[in-house]
Structure formats: structure tokens, C-alpha cells
Amino acid sequence: MRLRRTTLDENSCGAYPSCAILGAGGRTLPVDDTVVDRTPYEQTDLAPLHGTTFCRTLSREARMTVSALPVAHAFASHKGGTLQMDAMVECCAGLDVHQRTVVACVLSGRAGEKPRQQIRTFGTFTHELSALRDWLLSEGCTHVGMESTGVYWMPIYAILEGHFELIVGNAQHIKRVPGRKTDVKDAEWIADLVRHGLIAKSFVPDAGLRELRDLLRYRRKLVESRTGERNRLLKLLEQANIKLASVATDVFGVSGMLMLKQLVEGEATPTEMAQLAKARLRNKRAELEVALEGTVREHHRFILQMQIHRLEQLDADIAALEQRIDEKLEPYREQHERVRQIPGVDWLVAAVLIAELGVEMSVFESAGRLASWVGVCPGNYESAGKQKSARISKGNHYVKTALIEAAHAASRAKGTYLKEKFYRLKARRGYQRAIVAIAHKILVSAFHMLVTQDTYKELGAAYLDRIDQQRVAANLVRRLEQMGYEVEVRLKAA
């Protein structure tokens, strides 16, 4: 049985798309277009066949309607010769969220019947959102769906949490048909999709993990601000022809900060400032004297003083944040310490993994789904039956960047499986692909460690050689023979 979907000509007006089923003998059966019409359960007339025609199977049609969202719980059923989508929720609501207003649409009614529809608009002040919650409770709503619109959904989620089954959907998955978008229609559309179980829930952790997320994400912003301020300070030194960065490895270390403060005061000579060097930098005092001789003007000293003050304040704020983060990690201390056993994963990376992923891995179902959600696995790009190279998806960039940082550290960890795997991949696929592959392996390891509550088992640098010993031996023999040697291979006596 085939499903044919036709649309009216572009010059026609006022009619919705319609569907038909071609049965045996070419007999045409009407199809209920539940996901487009404002009253989603009323039957529409067939459109003339002078418009654009799309031929889809039923499952393909449903996926096309919700922008490639897999239909997991919606089923088609015949009733009175009409094809309908079975309602999964008897009373639900869809929210179209904005900065100042929230448009709510409630659909209530038994499956197979036309639902009763109510639409109201609320403000976003706390007492108005509380009124929204009370109204939804009075109507008997059990499920509430909304788009993940910026940060505007977060206060609404916090007020409704614990009272309903909340569904935060990806906005790209539930777009409406272009040209028919209003706030009311968006709320109706979301409510209709929730009623039929066509919105996949986004992962929203509990309140404790959300607090930890906020702290870690703000720390990241402060570190980025500190990096920007450091770059501006280095640019100022170059303008004044102070070549400290050409001699000192870390301008912002103990020695460097002492010299910068002396530059602000403007009283010490280059020789005196070079004597402030500590540890191994004292071996470069002669070079420091030359590097610290520049043309520092009064406005340079003024700006430099402000930049040093900002850097010190940022360092203090980051230290205070890290202390608070460590306190919030206390309920997850065991999982945090376990994840840190993976090579390359330090205190910060483990904290990001716990905050962004949580400790209950059942929400991701498998390591492959988690890798896709984070964005450390390649996407699918098939065209004309040919599989082409595809870039990794965007995913969660907080987790992704932390994993890439851990992968760089793991690639330098001596005697580890991850380092050996990195260099083998680098030779074949290049540096960037190898780093992403190591990040993927770290994530998969963390997933299984959190699921099984087991420790990390280091395979060792020789693991890859052991699993394919004959192939490695043959390659080495061939290389030696190419160099002109005769090789005889015998197993070493135990």
C-alpha cells in the first residue's frame, strides 16, 4: 500500500495539503492529515493533482513531518476507512516560549476522538508562570512539551518540574510547515506532537547537576576572558618593544608577573628586573636584560596596571569557582575519582563529564548514542548509493572540547594504549582525526566505567602488537628484506 501526498498549486489559496491511500484496484481512501490542520482530526478533501507530488511510505511521511525525528510510539490505525495516528497522551499541553510571553495549548480527549482545545497566553514573571502551572494542573495535563529556545525555557522548566512529564524538544526536529507560523499555531503544533508521542525528549539532568553545569560553564567563560586579557597584555608589550615573551616560556608565571609590576612602577632598570627571575629562568638573565629594554610610555604603564589588576581578579574568581565546584562534586565523588583513572583525564575534565553527562548512563542507552550526542563520531553522508566522508556533528561542545583536551594529554602519556593508538592513527589518518578518535575512546571508556562501576584497565602500549602478532611480524620482516637482510623468524623459548 502506497501513500501519496499532494499539495495544491502555488497560486491556489487557503487549502491544506492532503493525503490519499491507493488501495487495491486503484480505489482511493481518504487519509486524516493529523499533523498539519489546525483541527488535526478533521478529514480534508483530496487536492487536485496539479501541484507538487511527494510519494512516501507511511513511516517516511511521519518522519518527514517531524523533521527526521524517529517515530517511536506513534502507530497508524484504520477507523471507518480513514487512516489516523493513534494518540498516546489523553491530556497534554504545548508551550511556545518567548522572552515575555508563553502561549499554552491544551489538548484533552480520549484516543480516536477529536480533542478539546484550549489556548491561553501567560507572561513570564514568576507569579504568571505559577498561574500557568496551576491552570495546567486544573486541566489534568500529564505531559507538557516545549522547544529548547535559548535560555527562556529554563525558568519555565524549573517551575513545572515535579508536576508534569516535561518534554524539551530540539527546535530543529519540530519545525512547522513554512509560511504558516504564529505563536498560537506553534503551541498547537507542539501539543499535537506531544499527544502522538512524536517529540524525542532532550536530556535535562537533575537540579544538582544543572547547578554544577552552570558553575563549570561560567568557569570556562572566565578562563576565556583571562586568555583574552593575556593576549591583549602581550600585544601591549610588543607595542612597547618589550620582548619578554621571546625569552620567557610563561610571561604570566611568578618571574614574569614580578617583572611586569616593575614595568608599571617604571623605576627599575632592565638589569634589576632581570635579577627577579626565578628557577631555570635565572639562566637567561643576560637575554632578559636585552628583552626588557624597550620604549614604555606613560599610557602603556597605565593600561598595563589595569590589565594586571584584571588578571589577578580573574585568577581569584576562578579559584573561588573551583572551590565551589569541588563542594558540588561531593555527591558524585566516587564517579569523579573513577573517571580520573583514564589517561589524560584530570580533575577538570572529569568534572565536566560528570556535570554534562550525569552518572546515570541509561538515558543514552549505548556508548554509540552517547558519542553521537557529544559529537565525537562522524555523521552519515550517503548519496546515490555512495558513502562519502562526513564531518563530526556539533554535539555538546562543552564535553567535546574537554575530551579533545584530554586526548591531547593522553597522546603524550608514556606506556599507554591511547598513546600507541594515537600515533598509529596519526600516520594513516592525520593529526586531527587521530585526536578525535582518542577523544571518542576516552568517552566510551568513561561510559562503560560509569555503567559497570569498574576501574580503568590499562591495556599497555604493546596491546595492539599482541592482538595481531603475525601481521606485525610479517611487516617487520618485509621491511628488513627490503633493506637487504635475510630474516628467519623463530618464537622465543618460554
Encode pLDDT of 108-120 as tens digits.
Answer: 988 878 889 999 9
Residue-wise pLDDT for 125-156, tens only, equals 999 999 999 999 999 999 999 988 789 999 99
In terms of DSSP bridges, do strands 91-97 and 101-108 run parallel, antiparallel, or are they unpaired? antiparallel
Residue 379 has what pLDDT? 78
Q: Per the structure block, which three cell numbers stand in for 200?
A: 524525542
The alpha helices in 281-416, defined as continuous H runs, are 285-291, 298-328, 333-339, 347-357, 367-374, 397-410
3-class DSSP state for residue 90?
Answer: coil
Q: Per the structure block, which three cell numbers stand in for 18?
A: 492532503
Residue-wise pLDDT for 312-339, tens only, equals 999 999 999 999 999 999 999 999 999 9
Spatial distance between the Cα atoms of 266 and 242, rounded to a whole number of angstroms = 13
Q: Model's pTM, two decimal places?
A: 0.75
Q: What is the mean pLDDT of residues 22-37?
A: 38
Q: Per the structure block, which three cell numbers stand in for 35?
A: 499533523
With contact defined as beta carbons under 8 Å apart, do 421 and 430 qualify? no
Q: What are the backbone dihedrals phi and psi of residue 112, each rounded to the nearest 5 degrees, phi first?
A: 90, -5
Residue 291 has what pLDDT? 92
Terminal Cα distance for the chain, rounded: 68
Would you place residue 58 in the very low, low, confident or very high pLDDT band (cuts 50, 70, 90)? very low
Residue 12 has what pLDDT? 38
Indicate if the pLDDT at residue 54 is higher than 60. no
Spatial distance between the Cα atoms of 305 and 455, rounded to a whole number of angstroms = 49
- Interaxial angle between packed helices 153-160 and 126-138, expressed in degrees from 0 to 180 and rounded to the nearest 10: 50
The secondary structure of residue 279, as a DSSP letter, is G
- Interaxial angle between packed helices 298-328 and 207-239, expressed in degrees from 0 to 180 and rounded to the nearest 10: 160
How many residues does this entry show for the chain? 494
Residue 42 has what pLDDT? 39
Q: Per the structure block, which three cell numbers stand in for 177?
A: 510547515
Indicate if the pLDDT at residue 477 is higher than 70. yes
91-195 homologous superfamily: Ribonuclease H-like superfamily/Ribonuclease H (3.30.420.10)
Indicate if the pLDDT at residue 86 is higher than 50. yes
Residue-wise pLDDT for 424-452, tens only, equals 999 999 999 999 999 999 999 999 999 99
Indicate if the pLDDT at residue 85 is higher than 60. yes
* Residue corresponding to grid cell 492532503: 18
Spatial distance between the Cα atoms of 231 and 229, rounded to a whole number of angstroms = 5
In terms of DSSP bridges, do strands 101-108 and 165-169 run parallel, antiparallel, or are they unpaired? unpaired
Q: What is the dihedral of CA 247, 248, 251, 254, to 10 degrees?
A: -140
With contact defined as beta carbons under 8 Å apart, do 16 and 33 qualify? yes
How far is C-alpha 340 from the geometric centre of its chain's CA atoms? 21
Q: What is the mean pLDDT of residues 295-301?
A: 92
Spatial distance between the Cα atoms of 256 and 28, rounded to a whole number of angstroms = 82
| Closest-CA residue to 215 (of 356, 357, 403) | 356
Average pLDDT of the chain, as a whole number = 82
Indicate if the pLDDT at residue 57 is higher than 80. no
Q: Per the structure block, which three cell numbers stand in for 290?
A: 636585552
Q: What is the mean pLDDT of residues 374-395?
A: 83
The residue extents of the domains of the chain are 2-85, 91-195, 208-328, 332-380+393-459, 462-494
Indicate if the pLDDT at residue 414 is higher than 50. yes
Give, in degrees to the nearest 5, the angle at Cα 433 between 430 and 436: 145
Q: Write the DSSP assignment of 39-82 as a string of letters.
A: STTS--PPPPTTS-EEEE-HHHHHHHHTTT---SS--EEEETTE
Indicate if the pLDDT at residue 239 is higher than 60. yes
Q: What is the mean pLDDT of residues 163-185?
A: 84
Q: What are the backbone dihedrals phi and psi of residue 323, each rounded to the nearest 5 degrees, phi first?
A: -65, -45
Indicate if the pLDDT at residue 36 is higher than 50. no
Spatial distance between the Cα atoms of 148 and 154, rounded to a whole number of angstroms = 8
Give, in degrees to the nearest 5, the angle at Cα 101 between 98 and 105: 95
Would you place residue 355 in the very low, low, confident or very high pLDDT band (cuts 50, 70, 90)? very high
Indicate if the pLDDT at residue 2 is higher than 70. no
The secondary structure of residue 240, as a DSSP letter, is T
Residue 62 has what pLDDT? 37
Would you place residue 72 in the very low, low, confident or very high pLDDT band (cuts 50, 70, 90)? very low
Indicate if the pLDDT at residue 364 is higher than 60. yes
More confidently predicted of 355 and 13: 355
The secondary structure of residue 164, as a DSSP letter, is B
How far is C-alpha 452 from the geometric centre of its chain's CA atoms? 24
Instruction: Quote the percentage of the chain above a pLDDT of 70.
Output: 82
Spatial distance between the Cα atoms of 281 and 288, rounded to a whole number of angstroms = 9
Residue 172 has what pLDDT? 80
Three-class SS of 121-159: EEECCHHHHHHHHHHHHHCCCCEEEEECCCCCHHHHHHH
